[in-house]
Structure formats: structure tokens, C-alpha cells
Structure 1
Amino acid sequence: MASARSGFMDLLRLVPRGGPAICNVSVTNLCNATCDFCNFAHDKGFVTHRRSLDAARFEAALGRLREQAGVRFVTFMGGEPLLHPKILDMVRTATAMGVQPTLVTNGWLLPPKAEALAEAGITTLFISIDAAEAEVHEKNRGLKGVCKRIREATGILQARGVTVIASVAMTRLVKDYDALARFVQSLGFSAITFSYPRKAALGSNSLVWSEDSDLVDMSKEELLAAFDGAEAARAIIPVHNPRAGIADMRRRLSGQGERFVCHAGYKYFYMDWNYDLWRCEDWATPLSSVWDFTPEKMVRDGCQACTTDCYRDASIMLHFPVAIGDAFARMREGRPFKALAALADRRNAGSVGAVIGHGSRLARLAGAG
């Protein structure tokens, strides 16, 4: 109870600053999979210099992000983050610092590490799933038998109270979203989240894209059908993409433009294995080295350049906390009507609705922090 109370109070103290921030951390560019739609795949040859984060410096880097940017949530990514020999140490470090860790993995290396990850402080874990059939998923991943390993790991994690979410890229491998929802349930997942297909090259050194994959070369009609499928899957399993987020993607496809702006560079960041801090994976130049980062380097310009789901969906949930922070700032400036305008923004209702939709998981995250 004391831990939950201290975590909640810590988040409350960030309200005048617009709430907490999130950082994606790519701890390595190594991967043991061969996914067709990702250039981290070890058989494609894009990774010419193997790099991994120097774990000895991670505590200092995260401490700087915590103080300078208000980071309270960190997502360990790759490549495949479980290939990093010190990943458990970094998870423990984040937890001890009051920064809630999550992790995205393909699941191959997970079973022998599952207990230790839960013990280290992971309360939510994402495992990639590519199709509604085990054989199709395993062929794309180049990991025969990985679904058996995933089922073993989810059983361990669920028994430890960890929320295990299937992370699914919307590609042509997913032909039936109802069947997909039932398949991930059979693997032991408690929820599903969708990422939107990425064909264009990212600006940063992240390789989560493929210009050559037919699987992500989807037409407008295919994408709209995929969004319909994702919404329909809610009848079978919880979908963690906010409804407002999927609505924004539909608006983008129709040319109307999104309602919500992206908060990457202000409340969401990407740190690579070199300790360079980027606005996001899609940006061409880093903000700075993490060692040189100060709040003055934050960027807030209403960007709508991409559809990267983790940034766009989180930005919807962050919209209301940011509006509260703006109201505090306008009051400090002696502009009460501007403060009221920030709170009266109609998008705040959609933001609050998205937060409520994630209520139980966010409460556990805050408590663990």
C-alpha cells in the first residue's frame, strides 16, 4: 500500500508539468528473428555493426531523464531486448528508481527469464504476434516452435500477476481479426494492441520498417478494413488502442486530418544504444546525447508526420494531463482565460475516455512506480 501511495503521489507532483513522460529504449540492434516487415531481421544484412547499450551507464542516463524530462515509464525494446545480457539489471534499476518498466519481445528467450522479469518489476509485457495461425506466425519470425514457448511464458507471467499483451502489426498476414483475437487468447494473452504498418524508412537508426515487404504495402481499403477488424476484436478480447486513436487513423486516411497531435519530443522519447536521445524513431536527427539533454531541448510543434502507434495512442492519453499542465503554466503567466481554454478543449474528453479504458493497467503501473 505504501508503494502504491508513493507512486501515485509522485505522479501527482508531475501534474503541473503536464504529467509523466515515457521513453522507448532500444537496448540492442541484435535480433534472433527474420520478420519480413522489419529490418532488424538478422538475415537481411541491415545490422552491419552490432551494438548494445552500456548497462553500466543506464542508471545515470535514466536518472537524467527522470529529473529533466519527468520520465516515469520506460519500454525496453530492440532488436530483441532479451538478447542483452544485462536486461534484468536494467529492469531492476528502473523499478528501484520509481520508473515503471515494460518490455517488448518476440518471446523465444522468455520462458527461462519470465519469473526473473516479474521479480524485477515488470507488470506489463508485450509479445509480438503476426498472424492468427501458429505456423504462419512462426514462418514469418523464423522461429519454429515459438508459440509453444510463448504459451509457457504467459502461464508463468499471468501466475505472477503480469499483464501480457499481444503486440500485432497490421499486415497482410492478418486476414481474420476475430480468429486472431481467439488465437492470442489461446496463447494466454489478456489483451491485444495493434501497431500500424510501416513501409517508409524511419529517420533514426531504428530499423522497425521495410521498404521491400509486400506485407505492409497496404491500400487505403485494406487499412480501413484492418481498423474495422481491430474494433470488432474488442468483442472477444480487450484492445489497448484507444477508440479515439483508431478514429484518428481513419480520419488521416480520409484526408480529414487527426484531431490529436503527437507529443513525441515533449512527453515521449526514444533513446538508442548509443545513449542518443531522439524525439522519436521517425525523426532524422537526435535531440541530443542524453548526457546533454535539458528541458529546453524539448520539442512541441503539433507534429502529424507519421502513424507510429505507440506515440500516437499514448499522446491521446497524455492529452488531458498536458492540458492541465498548460493551464498551470497560463495561470503562472497571469492569463486565466487561456488556462480555462486549455481545460475546455473538447479533445480532453476523448483523452479521459482513453485513460479510463486503460484504467486497471495504468493503476497497476502507477502503483508499481
Structure 2
Amino acid sequence: MHSPFRNLANLRPLLKGRLPGQLIIQYSNHCNADCPQCGMRRSEQIHRSTLDQQRVKELIDTAAKNGIQSLSFTGGEPLIFLDDVVELTHYAATAGIPYVRTGTNGFMFRDSNSPGYLDRVKSIAEKLAATSIYTFWISIDSAEPDDHEAMRGLKGVIQGIEKAIPIFHEHGIYPSVNLGINRATGGRSRQPYLSEMDEQGFFAAFTDSFEKFYTMAMGLGFTIVNACYPMSDGTGDEHQAATGTIDTALYGAASQDSVINFSRAEKALIFKALFTTIPKFRDKLRIFSPRCALYNLMRKFSGHDSVLFPCRGGVDFFFVECEKGTIHPCGYRTETHRDLPDLNQRLGTISDCDLCEWECFRDPSDVLGPFAEIFTHPIKLAGKMFREPTFFKLLLEDLRYYKACGYFNGRLAPRFNAMQRFARP
């Protein structure tokens, strides 16, 4: 098992107060699903764009030269352009970027009873397996198959996923299931609203929903799970509505639909429910969501003003939108960067950005932020450790768990014997 903490390219930035760089490229906003929580759904009347491959290759070259270690291709639905993504994944590996991710809404897993279905899946698995892709995710929104398929407009996709996963495993790819947290996580017939129940009832409803989802994921054959935190579009979150600094239209993976729009009080309970549920499944699934980051989110939505570790969006992590190929701090901040900065340079002072909960940047900022401060602000870090010992206890537990999970390498089978030590009664 190759530990990222033994990779000098990952350790070198920490000495200069930086984190290993991450770049998310929105390759296209074309989509073939109807997800209610997304502004890029196929029924949405928006301008559709796909990045020029040459522009993407130029970005990859600059990213590799300037210290980016992780690259994600997202959409829209990136696998509408499967051959392009495969070619660009090869290109990124050749350029020297070790961690490349992409995923799908699963549209290719429909019609699983049709002739040639298994051969089609095998062809996709072979193409991806021929690359050095580190993570391949499949998005599922509900523990109830019929509800997920109705929400996405992808009838029959869950049965197809169940048939496809063993084929991917045979080709050395262990897909991750990505849950976009929403009110229908446990099923559309039981969507919780805090306005209709007390806090304990809302918390219990989401705890049950997460348990159902993890159980469903295991039943389908998944071994890795991640959760995408809800991004409200202003109407459900008073803080974001007041600041006016987040533009959910930039990335588009948000909407005003009540299925995804939560109040601050609801978010606090949702993060608490996920925090509580994860330990029950850590010996059975490789669950990426770090509990130390969830603890920080629980602090945030329970009234703590201080930010333990600011998000590194626009500092070490960046987002490229698909229409013009412009570089942004993240998928929800509209300011632009002329080019990707050189992450090999020592970092100066950074602002405490804590405006959203985009887990792609929020989680690694919490997990790796302390390591950067060891070398640049050790006294400041010591103060945080004194004030918030719970966070650091959780961080150490997360890191031990990450090691047991093989650092979520989607090309390796789970080591259940190593994960067993995290079993909870």
C-alpha cells in the first residue's frame, strides 16, 4: 500500500505552509439526467458548453508544473465524453499528476436486461482500467432504488449498477458511491423538515436515512462511500443569502428545490447525524467523510464564529468552469485567477473563507490544514490544539482509519482485517 504521506511531492508543500494542490475541471455541463438538486439537469434551459481538449491539456501541464497533485473531471455528466476523459486521464498521468478522479450519474447502467449489456459494461471497465485513474464514483441520491431513479430520470439504473460492480472489480476498479445529501436520502415518502417535527425527530430521521443508505451501498457491492454536503441556493440558508458572495450558478450543482435546500439549524442536525452514523459502518465500508471535518461543520452551524482551518479554495485548490475555461477559487466563488499559481512558493497570509460546505475543498482543508501549520504557525496550532482537543482526537482517528482503508485507493480491494479494528458494537 502506497501512503500519500510518503510521497515527497505531497510533503514538500507542507513545509511552505501549503497543501498538495487540487484542481477540479468541469469538462462539460451537458447532462442526461433530471436531478432536482442540480441546475445542470437536462430539462434546464442553460447554455451548454464543453471545454476544448487543448485548453484542458494546457491546464494539466501548468497544474503538474505548479504542484497540483489531484485532478478531478466533473460535469454535467463527464462520461457522455468517456473517450475524452480517458484520453485526458492518460495525459494527466503522463504529466505527473498521481491522483485523478472522475465519475458518472450511471446512465450507462440502464437497460441491464438488454442483449450485450454486460459486454458494454466490460468495455467501459476496460477503458478506465487502462488508465491510472485513482477514484471512479457513481452518484446515488436515495436508499430507495425507485426514488433514486425517479429523481434522476434514469429508470432501471440501480439494477444495472448491481450487475456492473462485479465487472469493475474484476478489472481492478472499486467504484465509490457518492451520496448528494438531500431530504429523500432515506426515501421520498419520508422527507424530514424541521418545521414539521422537533430537533430530535429530524436528527433521528436523517440518522436512519444514512444507515439505510450505507446498508444499500453494501448490498449493491460498493466498498467506498462519500457524501457530498448540501449546497443551498440562498433560500434555505440565511447566512449565505445575506453575504451574496456565493454564486451557485457558477458550478450549477445546486438549486432552490426544497429537496436540497436546508436551514442552518437543519444543517447542524444533518452533520450531527452523519457524524453519529459513520462509526457504525467503518468496519464494513471505506467511508471517506472525515469526522473531524463534520465536527467542524457542527461547530459552525451551532454558533461558533471562529474557523479552525480555512478552506484552501483559491489558495491550493482551484476550479475551472466549462464555458470559458476560467479558473476560480472554487465552484461557488466568482472571482477569477489569471493562471494557476505556483504552489512551490511559500504561502503568505490567507483569509478565513468559511462561506460554504463544498466537501471537495472543505474536507481536505480540515484534514491537512494542521500539517501545514506545524511548519509555519506552530504556536497558533498549539493554541488550537489546546482549545479544541476533540477536533485533533478525531483527526488522529480519521488518519488511522484512512490508512486502514488504503487511503481510498479505488484500484485496491478493501482490507477488512485492517478496518475491523474500527468496529463499533
> TM-score band (shorter)?
0.7 to 0.9
What count of residue pairs does the alignment treat as equivalent?
349
Deviation at 1:184, TM superposition (A): 1.1
Identify which range, 123-132 or 314-323, moves more after superposition: 314-323
Task: Find the residue that maps to 1:24 and give its secondary structure.
Answer: strand
- Contact 2:233 2:261 (C-alpha < 8 Å) held by counterparts: no
Give the counterpart of 1:262 among 306, 311, 314. 311
Q: Distance in 2 between matches of 1:10 and 1:269?
A: 18
Q: Distance in 1 between matches of 2:144 and 2:22?
A: 33
Q: Which residue of 1 aligns with 2:261?
A: 217
Deviation per residue, 1:97-133 (Å, 9 max, x gap): 2212011321223734222112211132221110011
Q: Which residue of 1 aligns with 2:213?
A: 180
Give the counterpart of 1:288 among 338, 343, 356. 338
Q: Which residue of 1 aligns with 2:223?
A: 190
- Contact 1:279 1:299 (C-alpha < 8 Å) held by counterparts: no
- Contact 1:323 1:343 (C-alpha < 8 Å) held by counterparts: no
Q: Distance in 2 between matches of 1:154 and 1:184?
A: 11
Unaligned runs of 5+ in 1: 328-337
Deviation per residue, 1:243-285 (Å, 9 max, x gap): 1111122112211144332111112111122321110011022
Task: Find the residue that maps to 2:222 and give its secondary structure.
Answer: coil
Give the counterpart of 2:128 among 108, 117, 127. 117
Distance 1:358 1:160, change over 3 A: farther
Give the counterpart of 1:275 among 311, 325, 331. 325
- Contact 2:134 2:409 (C-alpha < 8 Å) held by counterparts: yes
Give the counterpart of 1:78 among 67, 75, 87. 75
- Contact 2:135 2:176 (C-alpha < 8 Å) held by counterparts: yes
Q: Which residue of 2 aligns with 1:103?
A: 102
Distance 1:7 1:56, change over 3 A: farther
Distance 1:298 1:155, change over 3 A: farther
Q: Distance in 1 between matches of 2:259 and 2:88?
A: 34
Q: Distance in 2 between matches of 1:5 and 1:178?
A: 30
Q: Distance in 2 between matches of 1:321 and 1:181?
A: 31
- Contact 2:22 2:318 (C-alpha < 8 Å) held by counterparts: yes
What code does the residue aligned with 1:316 have?
Answer: D
2:177 corresponds to 1:166: yes
What code does the residue aligned with 1:75 have?
Answer: S
Deviation at 1:60, TM superposition (A): 2.4
- Contact 1:115 1:156 (C-alpha < 8 Å) held by counterparts: no
Deviation per residue, 1:212-267 (Å, 9 max, x gap): x0102334554344334323143133431111111122112211144332111112
Query: After TM superposition, which residue ranges in structure 1, 4 or more long, deviate above 6 angstroms?
Result: 3-7, 296-299
Where do residues 1-369 of structure 1 align in structure 2 (5 Å cutoff)?
A: 8-17=7-16, 18-45=18-45, 47-48=46-47, 50-68=48-66, 70-84=67-81, 85-99=83-97, 100-109=99-108, 111=121, 112-175=123-186, 176-200=209-233, 202-203=246-247, 205-211=250-256, 213-220=257-264, 222-230=266-274, 231-236=276-281, 237-257=285-305, 258-273=307-322, 274-289=324-339, 293=341, 300-324=350-374, 326-327=375-376, 339=378, 341-342=380-381, 345-346=384-385, 351-359=395-403, 360-362=405-407, 364=409
Deviation at 1:159, TM superposition (A): 2.7
Q: Distance in 1 between matches of 2:168 and 2:58?
A: 29
Q: Distance in 2 between matches of 1:312 and 1:200?
A: 18
- Contact 1:265 1:299 (C-alpha < 8 Å) held by counterparts: no
What code does the residue aligned with 2:131 have?
Answer: A
Deviation at 1:319, TM superposition (A): 0.7
Task: Find the residue that maps to 1:155 and give its secondary structure.
Answer: helix
Q: Distance in 1 between matches of 2:156 and 2:73?
A: 24
What code does the residue aligned with 1:158 have?
Answer: H
Q: Distance in 1 between matches of 2:184 and 2:152?
A: 12
Distance 1:140 1:206, change over 3 A: same
TM-score (norm 1): 0.84
Deviation at 1:364, TM superposition (A): 4.4
Identify which range, 150-159 or 237-246, moves more after superposition: 150-159
Task: Find the residue that maps to 1:59 and give its secondary structure.
Answer: helix
- Contact 1:277 1:287 (C-alpha < 8 Å) held by counterparts: yes
Identify which range, 239-248 or 213-222, moves more after superposition: 213-222
Unaligned runs of 5+ in 2: 110-120, 187-208, 235-245, 386-390, 413-425
Task: Find the residue that maps to 2:251 and give its secondary structure.
Answer: coil
Task: Find the residue that maps to 2:227 and give its secondary structure.
Answer: strand
Deviation at 1:289, TM superposition (A): 4.6
- Contact 1:91 1:117 (C-alpha < 8 Å) held by counterparts: no
What code does the residue aligned with 1:270 have?
Answer: F
Q: Distance in 2 between matches of 1:113 and 1:260?
A: 39
Deviation per residue, 1:130-173 (Å, 9 max, x gap): 00111000000001111123223322222333332211122110
Q: Distance in 2 between matches of 1:19 and 1:222?
A: 31
Q: Distance in 1 between matches of 2:9 and 2:334?
A: 33
- Contact 1:320 1:352 (C-alpha < 8 Å) held by counterparts: no
TM-score (norm 2): 0.74
- Contact 1:242 1:357 (C-alpha < 8 Å) held by counterparts: no
